[in-house]
Amino acid sequence: MPDEASTPTAAHELAEAVAGLAATLRFHRDLGVKDLPLEGRYLLEPDDALRAQEAALQGCRRCKLCEGRATIVFGAGNPRADLLVIGEGPGADEDAQGLPFVGRAGQLLTRMLAARGVGFTRDEVYVTNAVKCRPPGNRNPEAEELATCAPFLAAQLRAIQPKVVLALGSVATQALLRTREPIGKLRGRVHPFGAAVLIPTFHPAFLLRNPGDEYKRMAWDDLKLARREYDSRRAR
């Protein structure tokens, strides 16, 4: 068993990787190489990366949601957004228009984002869904459908690199946090999420079905929490 001194740490591994990179660059310099080919897809700007991802998704038939959809609803908004909003999956209006959150729930989302003490416009955030194709009859996406679409959401996250993720409703929140805890327990707090934080709140469609002040107030608290996290993480 390796003792503590010989156990590789993240710092050791990084130092070794950098030393290896330096050795490779010296080797190529000594061979006479003068330019680094830096046009690889890994260096795309966020807008180009998202455009390439959306183009690559066209015609997707990886899960059965492809059978009932009219369009693949990839996402919309600012590719450099520090706030990424993630819903469940497109509804009928979104499927028809090819854009996320444009129906009644979408209109409520726009108002929630713009609420007093929150103050986001749709243009400054990026909005997408856990699955990109409309589940028939607006049923919840199945685990297999969520898993099939997860790499595409992960690629969007890598391109956008948001500081705060706002997860709408239990389906998106549970899929992103890989938990079965109910939304009522998950909301109201900040969850670590890679280099970002994730803040769950109620789905606007749920708020439309449950129009009492109680849920509305909780959602408002969540959005104000998202605003505070957004401001403090942008100030760092």
Q: Which of 72, 105, 118, 207 binds ligand URA (CB under 6 A)?
A: 105
**Secondary structure letter of residue 63 according to DSSP:** S
Minimum CB–partner distance for residue 87 and ligand URA (Å): 3
Q: Which helix (H) or strand (E) holds 61?
A: none
Distance in angstroms (rounded) separating the CA atoms of residues 225 and 71: 34
| Comparison of 105 and 164: residue with beta carbon closer to ligand URA | 105
Distance in angstroms (rounded) separating the CA atoms of residues 139 and 53: 26
Contact (Cβ atoms closer than 8 angstroms) between residue 203 and residue 184? no
Q: Which of 65, 83, 88, 118 binds ligand URA (CB under 6 A)?
A: 88
User: What character string, x for contact with ligand URA (CB under 6 A) and - otherwise, covers 152-171?
Assistant: --------------------
Measured in Å, how far apart are the chain's first and last C-alpha atoms?
41
Please give the distance of CA 59 from its chain centroid, rounded to a whole number: 22
**Secondary structure letter of residue 145 according to DSSP:** H
Minimum CB–partner distance for residue 166 and ligand URA (Å): 12
User: What character string, x for contact with ligand URA (CB under 6 A) and - otherwise, covers 204-233?
Assistant: -x----------------------------
Residues at the interface with ligand URA (CB under 6 A)? 87-91, 94, 100-101, 103, 105-106, 129, 205
